[in-house]
């Protein structure tokens, strides 16, 4: 539309700039490296972890695209992403536990360092994977866990925002009906305004 109103089907923007998607990319890349570097080739966990990371990432992208016309679908896909990342989190926690590795406490020096780096706009996303390639399995698993907790927080915030938007605006059909009614009313006013009595 060119009259200043928002088009009902306007795109949400490039998903690659969406923070939850960017975190999901880091998680996927860390997991791909971790699974192929530290797990046995015939271990079924390799495929399961990579698939969980991929599912989380792809569902964020799909949910973002679907949100243009269906907030219900966007909510559903964001929930699927959240569940996939929870599955992955449990795999990393299991790895640390069965190998008697320490899981970083949420206020540990390592976690604070990673949080600080992950919020620094001067640090590119790829930096974390490059760092992981120089670290042992215990560290990489803990790095992934930190990002998975951040991702869970971001996805919950996204779900809350989608719910508020849905409650405020309704579904796409409701928005279409409201937009059509508004257009008809405006057209009717224009036609009445142009009539001479």
pLDDT for 185: 67
Q: Supply the pLDDT for residue 8.
A: 35
Q: What is the pLDDT of residue 181?
A: 60
67 vs 72, higher pLDDT = 72
pTM of the predicted model, to two decimals? 0.80
Closest by Cα among 119, 45, 139, 135 to 87? 45
Kindly state the average pLDDT of the residues 39-56.
96
How sure is the predictor about 87, in pLDDT bands with cuts at 50, 70 and 90? very high
d(CA 111, CA 41): 30
pLDDT digits (tens, 9 = 90+) for 100-146: 999 999 999 999 999 999 999 999 999 999 999 999 999 999 999 99
């Amino acid at each position: 539309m060119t009259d200043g109103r928002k088009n009902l089907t306007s795109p949400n923007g490039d998903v690659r700039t969406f923070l939850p998607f960017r975190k999901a990319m880091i998680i996927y890349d860390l997991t791909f490296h971790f699974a192929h570097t530290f797990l046995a080739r015939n271990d079924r966990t390799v495929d399961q972890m990579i698939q969980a990371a991929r599912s989380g990432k792809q569902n964020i992208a799909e949910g973002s695209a679907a949100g243009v016309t269906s907030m219900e679908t966007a909510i559903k896909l964001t929930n699927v992403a959240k569940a996939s990342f929870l599955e992955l989190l449990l795999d990393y926690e299991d790895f640390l536990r069965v190998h008697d590795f320490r899981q970083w406490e949420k206020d540990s020096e390592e976690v604070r360092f990673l949080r600080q780096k992950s919020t620094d706009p001067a640090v590119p996303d790829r930096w974390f994977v490059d760092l992981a390639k120089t670290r042992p399995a215990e560290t990489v698993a803990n790095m992934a866990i930190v990002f998975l907790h951040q991702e869970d927080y971001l996805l919950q915030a996204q779900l809350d925002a989608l719910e508020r938007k849905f409650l405020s605006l309704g579904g796409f059909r409701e928005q279409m009906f409201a937009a059509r009614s508004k257009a008809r009313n405006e057209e009717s006013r224009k036609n009445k305004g142009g009539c001479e009595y």
